[in-house]
Amino acid sequence: MQKYIYTILILLLPMSVFAGDINLGKEKSAMCVSCHGVEGVSMVPIYPNLKGQKEAYLVGALKAYKSGDRKAGMAAIMAGQAMALTAQDIDNLAAYYSSLK
C-alpha cells in the first residue's frame, strides 16, 4: 500500500510544482504581446516563441532575467520586464504560455 502512495505522490508532483493560473497569465501577457505575439508566436525572428514552451523553462528563464543571472540575448530588455513581475505573475505567465498548443 505504501508503495502505491509514493507512486501517486511522484505522479502528482510535477502538477503541483507550479501553481500558475492560466487565465491570470493570459491577462498579464498583454505586456508580452508586442515582442512575442498575441498567442506567443513572434512575428520578429529575433524574439522567441513562447507558445507551448515547457512551464519549468519559462519560470526559470523569467526568474533568471529578474535576478540578473541571465545575460544573453535580449537580457537587458527582459530584465526590465521581469523586474515588474511577482513570483505569482511568473507562475501565471508560464502556465498560460505552456498551455497553448
In tens, the pLDDT along 7-43 reads 565 555 554 456 899 999 999 999 999 999 999 999 9
96: pLDDT strictly greater than 60:
yes
Q: Any idea where the domains of the chain sit in the sequence?
A: 19-99
CB neighbour burial string for 47-83, b if at least 16 within 10 angstroms, e if fewer:
bbebbebebeebbebbbbbbeeebeeeeeeebbeebe
- Superfamily name and number for 19-99: Cytochrome c-like domain (1.10.760.10)
- CA nearest neighbour of 49 among 38, 60, 63: 38
The pTM for the full model equals 0.81
Q: What is the rounded average pLDDT of the residues 55-77?
A: 93
Cβ atoms within 10 Å, residue 32? 19
All three cell numbers of 52: 507551448
Per-residue confidence (pLDDT) for residue 72, from 0 to 100: 83
| Residue-level pLDDT at 11 | 56
Q: Answer whether 48's CB lies under 8 Å from 59's CB.
A: no
Q: Which pLDDT does position 101 carry in this prediction?
A: 92
Mean residue pLDDT across the chain: 88
Which grid cell is 92?
Answer: 501565471
Residue 4 has pLDDT above 60, yes or no: no
> To the nearest whole percent, how much of the chain has pLDDT over 90?
75
